[in-house]
Amino acid sequence: MEHLINDRVKNIQISGIRTFFNMVSQYEDVLSLTIGQPDFLTPDSVKTAAKQAIDQNKTSYTHNAGILELRQAASQFVRTNYNQQYDPETEVIVTIGASQAIDIAMRTILEEGSEVILPGPVYPGYEPLIRLAGAIPVHVDTTNTGFRLTADLINQHITEKTRCIILPYPSNPTGVTLSKTELEDIATLLHDKDIFVLSDEIYSELVFDGKHESIATIPSMRDKTIVVNGVSKSHSMTGWRIGLLFAPAYISKHMLKVHQYNVSCASSISQIAALEALTTAKDESILMKQEYEKRRNYVYERLVAMGFEVEKPSGAFYLFPSIQKFHKSSFDFALSLVKDAGVALVPGNAFSTLGEGYVRLSYAYSMDTLTEALNRLEHHLNKN
């Protein structure tokens, strides 16, 4: 009876990141730099808060939008760190990870045939959610603009069907981000247009050069912008599955309906852990960021010394070097690297067809692992 399965579901694919990760797991002695999983432990005080919550039987449903204390802490956190202003009672929703936040946002604002502009190469989690909502992803080639989705590029792709623009910065897979000037240019373009912006800021705490800027802080854009954030990357809490969704009340009240019927609420225990992360443990991300910056500098310098063309990332924990000069597809290059050198990187075409000719390297690994992996990579290149 498979012919009865929803065609939209049948036509989407498992993430190329996971597909390649699972494929290389069959090989022995492979150093995998594929997954964006922080190698730090969740802060001790966060774990303690969760254990205490279990012992105190805080295991029931919460408010659909999340416990008010967490929404208040989240509102304060983004106000202090990014100058974003959101009412915790009406403009903040606690979700099951950033992925669910993106999903309910897309299902709230998109209709059949709507178009969504997003940069390419880009994290592969957006396109399936756009298509499941009946909308059409419009990938914009950013390989000639340092992987930045500029106002000029956006303007070239706007049509009467454009409903949303996705700004995923700092970026997965490239690590680049947008400056305040670049965001202001986009705001100027959109000020008289009925187009939403989804600003995915999950890596906002991991910006090395300057500070994170959000388009939501530009007055003309606040009522058009949905901000996605969370504690997965900033506090090494990927498995706790807590995302944060910020939007004007007139949007949030509708997203909350989708969220309610989708999951009821996020895990009560994880919410209490996230509350601890955004209050007592709010500065834990600073120590992680400092270590990631050291790793970024080391890996970037090694790749440049090997002759790679690569954009120096401003945030997150990825580099996206070009492998075009090796005259192999991204998949073939990555597979030969696994087989011959015991190093796994993600083929660039996992991040849309515009990622072909690149590979993604995650430096969310220990310095020892990165050093050995880069030594193997260098030996592989010298041998070939």
Give tens-digit pLDDT for 184-208.
999 999 999 999 999 999 999 999 9
Percent of the chain whose pLDDT exceeds 90: 91
Q: 57-89 pLDDT, tens per residue? A: 999 999 999 999 999 999 999 999 999 999 999
Q: Which residue has the tokens 């009340």?
A: 249
Question: pTM of the prediction?
Answer: 0.96
Domain boundaries, the chain: 2-42+284-383, 44-278
Confidence of residue 28 (pLDDT cuts 50, 70, 90): confident
Dist. CA 224–CA 363, nearest whole Å? 34
Question: Which CATH superfamily is 2-42+284-383 part of?
Answer: Aspartate Aminotransferase, domain 1 (3.90.1150.10)
Compute the average pLDDT of residues 361-366: 97
- Return the DSSP state at 62: -
Over residues 268-280, the mean pLDDT reads 98
The verdict on domain 44-278 having CATH code 3.10.105.10 is no
- What confidence score (pLDDT) does residue 10 get? 87
Q: Work out the pLDDT band at 23, boundaries 50, 70, 90.
A: confident
Q: Give the pLDDT score at 27.
A: 83
Strands of 346-347's sheet in order across:
318-319, 359-362, 346-347
Q: List pLDDT tens digits, range 225-260.
A: 999 999 999 999 999 999 999 999 999 999 999 999
At 92 the three-state DSSP class reads strand
Residues 341-360 as b/e (b if ≥16 CB within 10 A, e otherwise) read bbbbbbbbbbbbebbbbbbb
10 Å CB burial of residue 125 (0-12, 13-18, 19+) is middle
Kindly tell me if the per-residue pLDDT of 24 is higher than 90. Answer: no
Tokens found for residue 253:
């009240």
Closest CA to 277 of 233, 235, 232, 239: 235
Q: How far apart are CA 325 and CA 308, in angstroms?
A: 9
Give residue 318's pLDDT. 98
